[in-house]
Structure 1
């Protein structure tokens, strides 16, 4: 487990925390590997009935670490760690609940599309800024988002990359429940505890029934996005966008 991804297990519930507060929980390759390992271990552990993911500090996650992406662009094979996590996330069989405070950006937003329930603070904001970075959507968001909100709205969200406020995200079905700022962990925990108290096999089978029909389309979207995303990392547009982003942050 990475020092920036912590895990605890309590009463049959796995709690996964993105814990890189000084970088707004930006996700590194090492963190992807830790997240994959956490889900894999929970999948094979009969004592774990459900999982919950949340971010330490005021934000859920600012997405991928852009500094690392500049290096990945030179060695795109390193993207395998990211793809391994996304594969695990999309195939995870147990209930996965998210507690979201503040900003959920990039993969911090797209991973929520694969969670079974999302609880978010009223101050939460979702952003999918892939095109602004010279990239394309990932984590099968090019398939899942239009299914939820329709083509036109998905186009606006994914192409313009503006923040989606929590109230709008809830109205579109991206968030289940809103809560007061600072309460996302506690409210999400309440829901995951209710789920963990239900008959385990019935919950797992029901989740499979809900996701089964779309699973092939999700996997195809994931693979197609991954190939294009990998190529885009080497593009001039992406390099210029990354450099501009880093210079602004400095």
Structure 2
């Protein structure tokens, strides 16, 4: 992961471009460490989350799944819970800048940001029902909050890609930019927010957080469910089909 702090705006760049920046365990741990430090740093007044080389993130590190055991699954989901909570509960305003694909759990990270900027040609991907996993990254809470329960259910059940125009129409993204300009615009917006009264911003964010669907309960439910689905035959088939670029043949086991 790369970091850069300029004029109060801390840019966090997911940086594993050869694999389109998956949220591997080391990447998640780096984000947690950096966000924890940022929370105690008065020089950081706003945050921007983006990905390197024209991709936001390919989502969870599928090559490393399933975890070694159910206990390891719990450990992974606990890290995800910590990361999502650090972003959603941050007193600093947060802006996501999305180019290219944003898949799975990475959409969850974007969805809990205060502002989402999405470039033309970018796509949000929801592969969960094709893999045999439950949506994670807090999506069962944050997606209905952003786009409504009915639309969220449709998006998650069918798992069709959501392009920039549709994302803005739904409310999953707040603003569209030409390709290649999402980070520039996100930094501009974060800069504006960095210049506003920090206690006022924190109070406003706190009021909205208090009214949200219970994100903590959603994250806890993800943890319970994912530990079983990781070790199901359907996930093994979904993973094999993904890498073989074929349609999965699920058996319900």
Q: TM-score, normalised by structure 1?
A: 0.92
Equivalent residue for 1:242, pick from 239, 244, 252: 239
Distance 1:129 1:61 in 2: 13
Contact 1:70 1:242 in 2 (8 A): no
Equivalent residue for 2:33, pick from 37, 40, 45: 37
1:110 aligns with 2:108: yes
**Which residue of the partner structure matches residue 178 of structure 1?**
176
Following TM superposition, by how much is the alpha carbon of 1:47 offset from its aligned partner in structure 2, in angstroms?
1.7
Q: TM-score, normalised by structure 2?
A: 0.91
Distance 1:83 1:148 in 2: 19
**Which residue of the partner structure matches residue 99 of structure 2?**
101
Following TM superposition, by how much is the alpha carbon of 1:73 offset from its aligned partner in structure 2, in angstroms?
5.5
**Which residue of the partner structure matches residue 14 of structure 2?**
18
Distance 1:110 1:226 in 2: 14
Contact 1:73 1:233 in 2 (8 A): no
Matches within 5 A, 1:1-250: 5-72=1-68, 75-79=72-76, 80-214=78-212, 217-248=214-245
Following TM superposition, by how much is the alpha carbon of 1:11 offset from its aligned partner in structure 2, in angstroms?
1.5
Distance 2:81 2:7 in 1: 31
Distance 1:97 1:233 in 2: 31
CA RMSD after TM alignment: 1.7
CA distance change for structure 1 residues 72 and 32 in 2, over 3 Å: closer, same or farther? farther
**Number of residue pairs matched by the alignment:** 244
